[in-house]
Amino acid sequence: MLFVSRRARELGTENAFVVLSEVEKLQAEGKRVVSFCIGQPDMPTPDHIRLAGIRAITEGKTGYTASPGIPALRKAVADYFSRTRGVSVDPGEVVVGCGGKPFIGYTILSVIDPGEGHEVIYPNPGFPIYHAQIAAHGAVPVPLDLRESKGHNFDLDDLRRKVTKKTRLLILNSPHNPTGGALSRAEMEEIARIVAPYEDLWIYADEVYCALVYDAAFQSIASIPGMRDRTVIADSASKTYSMTGWRIGYAANAKLAPVFTRWVTNTDSCPPHPNQYAALEALTASQEPSEKMREIFRQRRDRIVAGLNRIPGFRCLKPGGAFYVWPNVTEACRMVGAADSEEFRKMLLYEAGVAVLADIHFGTAVAGEGQHVRFSYASSFEAIDEGLERIAGLMKKRTK
């Protein structure tokens, strides 16, 4: 039998796409499903950005570029990071890639050596690609549990206990997927104090939802004194500009930029040429479309949080950012006889026609935290209202 490596056999995935296939199967059977499972804006890419991409194609900008991206886009990203993070970023520190996701792997590959017991601390629950990439590249995954009592952030004392001389990378995701939680500046300052004594410890600041912060100013740990040099600032055009399918992301760090460039050369050669011009337009033209999108998401957040809290068995905190809510459904599971959030998720999908993700899709169970599901409110107000009505109807019908 032909051999397939263990790392390939055990490689994790992003379960949102697994659930999406269930949704599409039901829809193909003619069933109406209200879906809250995929995390992407439901608005189209703004016209001026799409036209910039088309213009680049018609002008023949369709060949290879330098691996880290075209100079104009690297400068635009540097200006954008400088403006939004409160730090000074040089274009030479910036590398553009095929979305934000590759930089997770590039960073892990750049700061750990397999077989050395090097550890990577990551949020749990969290974006599932963190754990998948940590394990695949030979590092030791160290989950940092998020607590509802902390506003879906982690306990700083827990971080203090988990950082060791073997720790090479701390992944911070703020605003956070799947909870929508956001770290405050005070929390980031304490994180900086915790990691300061460890000279070999890098920080990966996954800030792809930085433009979707609702009740306070966005905070980046790169702006905390002492953190700039050791922080990889990572972002993408996907969420801010509704450009998920364009696959343009970017990261900045002076020491790692040449290393990231070699990884891009070894994997994708370069980001898609015409798409870089679309991203350039997104970053340098009016930000009004993004600001309008943020306000729509804020209103949707308020709508879905209020609606979920009116349903018996649901308890939902109001998230500070992104476009996700992470309601506690422990009591709802008990009321309808579901053993856990995954059984409850399937009940919602197959009986109520409402698609969400369960907490098991985002990591291991956190002791004492109960059961949770994730809703992406990148859906219309009408879909939110219909989904809430269907869930309330199921709870009424199923409550024992």
**Per-domain residue ranges of the chain:** 6-44+289-398, 61-284
Q: Closest Cα to residue 26, out of 333, 294, 348, 311? A: 348
**Tens place of pLDDT per residue across the chain (400 aa):** 899 999 899 998 887 777 888 888 988 999 999 999 988 899 999 999 999 999 999 999 999 999 999 999 999 999 999 999 999 999 999 999 999 999 999 999 999 999 999 999 999 999 999 999 999 999 999 999 999 999 999 999 999 999 999 999 999 999 999 999 999 999 999 999 999 999 999 999 999 999 999 999 999 999 999 999 999 999 999 999 999 999 999 999 999 999 999 999 999 999 999 999 999 999 999 999 999 999 999 999 999 999 999 999 999 999 999 999 999 999 999 999 999 999 999 999 999 999 999 999 999 999 999 999 999 999 999 999 999 999 999 999 999 7
C-alpha–C-alpha distance, residues 152 and 149, integer Å? 7
Residue 47 tokens, joined: 């016209």
Cβ count within 10 A of residue 5: 9
pLDDT at res. 311: 98
**In whole angstroms, how far apart are CA 150 and each of 211, 247, 358?**
23, 33, 20
Q: Residue 204: is it exposed, middle or buried by C-beta count within 10 angstroms (0-12/13-18/19+)?
A: buried
Q: Residue 273: is it exposed, middle or buried by C-beta count within 10 angstroms (0-12/13-18/19+)?
A: middle
pLDDT at res. 352: 97
pLDDT at res. 19: 85
C-alpha–C-alpha distance, residues 169 and 237, integer Å? 24
* Topology alike, domains 6-44+289-398 and 61-284: no
pLDDT at res. 14: 81
Residue 65 has φ and ψ, to the nearest 5°, of -120, 180
CATH superfamily of 6-44+289-398: Aspartate Aminotransferase, domain 1 (3.90.1150.10)
Domain 61-284 CATH assignment equals 3.40.640.10: yes
Element (H, E) at 9: helix 6-9
The answer for residues whose C-beta is within 8 angstroms of residue 150's C-beta and 6 or more apart is none
pLDDT at res. 295: 97
Residue 76 has φ and ψ, to the nearest 5°, of -60, -40
